[in-house]
Structure 1
Amino acid sequence: MRERGRTRRLLGLGARTGGTLLRSQFGGEADWRALGEALFEGLSELKGPAMKLAQIMAQWDDLLPPDLADELARLQRQAEPMPWEGIRRTLIEQYGELESRFSEIEPQPFASASMGQVHRAITREGETLVLKVQYPGLAEVLEGDLAQLRRIMRLGRWFKVPQVRLDALFEELAASLRSELDYHAEACALVRYRERYAHLKGLVIPEPLPELSGPRVLAMRYVAGTPLRELEGADDALRQRIATTLADWLTEELFTHGELHADPHAGNFAADGEGRLVIYDLGAVIPVPEGHLKAMMQLLDATLAADPMAMDDALRRLGGRQGQGAPLALYRESAEAVAPLFEPGEQDFSDVRVHRRLRDLTPKVWAAMDRLQPPVDVLLLSRTLNGHYWNLVRLGARLDMHARTRPLLAWARR
């Protein structure tokens, strides 16, 4: 009965979303605020895959209708927590009598996400930890949720996105969600990343505690920090320090180690009291083949050269652009929009002129989607890089992307 009720809620939210999209597509007045409020309330309670998809959408808040973006963004910072009793049962299954391990566990979580929530705890020895606790029963409902989510994602066909692209996006999302249930894999990623990036003094990754962790509870040493979303009004020097560390880390992650943190929503990042970047969550880490990196850098190279034919050729090599007739005018506009970020010298990621160009391009991209198809193999990679870009925007980063990308472009030409 509970699973059927969950299915009905998801289908109802899908139908409401579809109705709003249809009204907007056919010139009607769409109430994006009401839709956003309904999605926030419903998904905040249901958790799981659909809430995760909404959090992904919220990463591109400058490209969504503002009222919808405002409501979806709340899922990253105000999601309704799971009642303590359900979380407590999971902790008892892991530890037995809680008082034998902990002198205190805060019933109120300080972070609630789509797949679990985080509680502060103090051990009997007086050490402060955080316990990332998977929502009860999530593994059992995951596949059913994914089936409903696949139905909802078919709404994308109204935007001329072929089914093969929607299926590829769904499979990547499904694989990512399944991997997030594997807390052992996340603990291993934390260990790997702590060792790999120990030389980056501006980066902090919490230490996992295997002796206190299990299949549905991940224990880590507590690292206090100010969430990235709350840094928009912070001291400029702090924001630039965090932005530089983020850019340095992402570059090394991709081009040295061939991996990428694939869950870039702002709640996973913070600044500690020493002005260092804290990465809290490594539940989604994806491999990035060298061939994909090289092809994407070749596309950037063609874009910065403002060469539409070379852009079309690069996109085809990536596996996109399946229709007839290259959208050359759209390529030119895209090059004009992107180029300012890569001019010599420091470029300001908070420059509203860049966002305005990108926003103006969005409806044109959707209109050309039957010809301009995103490459299947790099959908998740592209989505993730976009999310990290918007984090740099939120920080008001000023970076010399020309100097940063020159050696990478030279590598891609070889």
Structure 2
Amino acid sequence: MRERGRTRRLMGLGARTGGSLLKSRLGGEANWRALGEALFEGLSELKGPAMKMAQVMSQWDDLLPPDLADELARLQRQAQPMPWPAIRRTLVEELGELGAFFSDIEETPFASASMGQVHRATTREGETLVMKVQYPGLAQVLESDLVQLRRLLWLGRWFRVPQARLEAIFDELAEGLRQELDYQAEARALARYRSRYADNPDLRIPAVVERFSTGRVLAMEYLPGTPLRDLEAAPDPLRQQVAGILADWLTEELFTHGELHADPHAGNFAVDDQGRLILYDLGAVIPVTEAKLKSMVHLLDATLQQDPLAMENAMLELGGRQGEGAPLTLYKESAAAIAPLFATGEQDFGDVRVHRRLRELSPRVWAAMDRFQPPADTLLLSRTLNGHYWNLVRLKARLDMQTRTQPLLEWARGVGS
């Protein structure tokens, strides 16, 4: 779709969304399911930044109307693929005549995302690969799409999302999309992670096949597995094994290597037939400084002590809360909602009572975001960790979080250093 047509389509979807929001605000009955279906169809076709923003929004199930959230969530798993001729054209432009290298390339992708899609291929030598192919022309329309999305930010106010929060989310999204367009950076990240975890028997990261990788194509070895989102009905021992691996890996990522896989979408992880965790997508990896980690653990420490004044000091240390009027009551209620996950013994991440309490509190936290004023890098880190939390919920994990976090709390306090 040409740039002018994309702009008209984006503005049309924005106008339809605004109309539904206005109707609801005035007391009318908005058809959220119909709006969600229209957004799903339109954004599946457009791909790029708008689809990515909708995927992020679909995680706001505590704010969006349920029918709308359900439809947007489909973009995570059922997005319409780009037609094969367009994808093939990109492959030929990047690699040359495909028949010289491949005996077969499956025309139907087994994964379609906001910035590219993945096709399975077999080389002339019989090796099975996956080819991640960037959507044609996306780099050329990225910045213009971002301009249009920024103009649509006002729609978020209907959901009582503060302007500061909207701007931070947008800036985070824009930077992440620019990073995801750089397939060479992702190839370097894959190599780095494979080296980092080479001796970890519980993790698998696909190897890059350099001879078929370019700026718009990323070729990797094929590592089959069951997607994390499909494990909800798996046997309990397997789910608990995977949950433990996931929790251990996240801790090592942050506190040993100072990095974090920043796209926690459940489709980016899978489990092989030996119960090992496979990491598929490393298009978004963020650095996390030791100072930032210590500040966040100080906030966790204060939260677990249910000390609102200490929570306020931790927020100031993080670089937020520069204004007057600390929301001490909200701090206290947040601590009371979070503390049960860190009580003595194993805690059940499938306990709906905990989620219900967090969801009931969430709109008030969002509404107070202008008072919290969290820095943008903390927003991204928090959103990522929240996504991984929901992956543990999907697995119905049972974890002794108190035992797991105690060494981290002592480290942040300087105990034994």
Q: TM-score range by the shorter chain?
A: over 0.9
Residue correspondence of structure 1 range 117-156 to structure 2 within 5 A = 117-156=117-156
Q: Which moved more, 1:205-214 or 1:65-74?
A: 65-74
1:373: Cα distance to partner? 2.9
CA contact (8 A) 1:304 1:335 kept: yes
Q: Who is 2:228 aligned against?
A: 228
Question: How far, CA to CA, are the matches of 1:315 and 1:156 in structure 2?
Answer: 25
How well do the aligned residues superpose, as a CA RMSD in angstroms? 1.7
What is the CA–CA distance in structure 1 between the aligned matches of 2:156 and 2:326, rounded to whole Å?
A: 22
Deviations 1:217-268, CA, capped at 9 Å, x for gaps: 1000101111111111111111111111111111111111111101111110
Bigger drift between 351-360 and 53-62 goes to 53-62
Residues of 2 paired with 1:235 and 1:63: CA distance?
32
The 1-side partners of 2:49 and 2:83 are apart by: 19
Amino acid at match of 1:362: S
Corresponding residue for 2:405? Answer: 405
Residue 207 (str. 1) matches residue 207 (str. 2): yes
Superposition pairs of residues 278-293 of structure 1, within 5 angstroms: 278-293=278-293
Partner of 2:298: 298
TM-score by length of 2: 0.95
1-side partners of 2:20 and 2:290: how far apart? 41
Shift of 1:187: 0.7
SS at match of 1:129: strand
Task: Output the amino acid matched with 1:31.
Answer: N
Q: Superposition pairs for residues 347-386 of structure 1, below 5 Å?
A: 347-386=347-386
Q: Name the SS of the counterpart of 2:94 in structure 1.
A: helix
Tell which deviates more after alignment, 78-87 or 57-66: 57-66
Question: Do the aligned partners of 1:48 and 1:142 also contact (CA within 8 Å) in 2?
Answer: yes
Distance 1:297 1:37, change over 3 A: same
Aligned to 2:249: 249
SS of the residue corresponding to residue 306 of structure 2 reads coil
**Separation (CA, whole Å) in 2 of partners of 1:165 and 1:367:** 10
Distance 2:388 2:260 in 1: 10
Q: Is the 8 A contact 2:261 2:284 kept in 1?
A: yes
Q: Secondary structure at the match of 1:264?
A: coil
Amino acid at match of 1:138: L
Distance 2:328 2:26 in 1: 27
Structure 1: which 5+ runs fail to align? none
Q: Paired residue for 2:240?
A: 240
Q: What's the TM-score, normalizing by structure 1?
A: 0.95
User: Contact between 1:315 and 1:375, CA under 8 Å: does it hold in 2?
Assistant: no
Identical counterparts, % of pairs: 75
Q: In the alignment, residue 239 of structure 1 is paired with which amino acid?
A: R
Q: Distance in 1 between matches of 2:170 and 2:107?
A: 35
How much does 1:63 deviate?
5.5
Structure 2 CA distance, aligned partners of 1:77 and 1:165?
A: 27
Indicate the SS of the match to 2:117.
strand
How has the CA–CA distance of structure 1 residues 65 and 374 changed in structure 2, closer, same or farther, with 3 Å as cutoff? farther
SS at match of 2:152: helix
1:109 equivalenced with 2:109 (yes/no): yes
Q: CA deviation at 1:60?
A: 4.6
Task: Write the distance in 1 (CA, Å) between the matches of 2:291 and 2:159.
Answer: 29
- Does the 8 Å contact 1:81/1:112 carry over to 2? yes
DSSP 3-state at the match of 1:371: helix
Structure 1 distance, partners of 2:359, 2:337, is 10
Relative to structure 1, is the Cα distance of residues 60 and 167 closer, same or farther in structure 2, using a 3 angstrom cutoff? closer
- The letter for the 2-side match of 1:33 is R
Query: Are the aligned partners of 1:159 and 1:367 in contact in 2 as well (CA < 8 Å)?
Result: no
**Long gaps (5+) in structure 2:** none
Quick one: structure 1 residues 275 and 115, their matched pair in 2 at CA, closer, same or farther if it must change by over 3 Å? same
Does the Cα contact within 8 Å between 1:159 and 1:366 map onto a contact in 2? no
Alpha-carbon distance between aligned partners in 2 of 1:30 and 1:361, rounded to the nearest angstrom: 25
1:167, CA displacement in angstroms? 2.9
1:391: which partner in 2? 391
Matching residue of 1:9: 9
How far apart, in 2, do the equivalents of 1:294 and 1:127 lie? 45
Instruction: Tell me the CA shift for residue 160 of structure 1.
Output: 5.8
Would the aligned equivalents of 1:261 and 1:284 in 2 still touch at CA under 8 Å? yes
Q: CA deviation at 1:323?
A: 4.0
| SS of alignment partner, residue 298 of structure 1 | helix
Shift of 1:158: 4.7
State the Cα deviation string for residues 85-113 of structure 1 (Å, max 9, x = none): 00000111122111110000000001000
Question: What corresponds to 2:307 in structure 1?
Answer: 307
| Structure 1 letter corresponding to 2:334 | S
**Structure 2 counterpart of 1:74:** 74
Q: Distance in 2 between matches of 1:392 and 1:20?
A: 34
Instruction: For 1:338 and 1:31, locate their aligned partners in 2 and report how far apart those are by CA, in whole Å.
Output: 34
3-state SS of paired residue (1:82): coil
Q: 1:56–1:265: 8 Å Cα contact kept in structure 2?
A: no
Letter in 2 for 1:405: T
Residues 168 and 359 of structure 1: CA distance in aligned 2, closer, same or farther (over 3 Å): closer
2:36 alignment partner AA: G
Does structure 2 retain, via aligned residues, the 8 Å contact 1:246–1:277?
yes
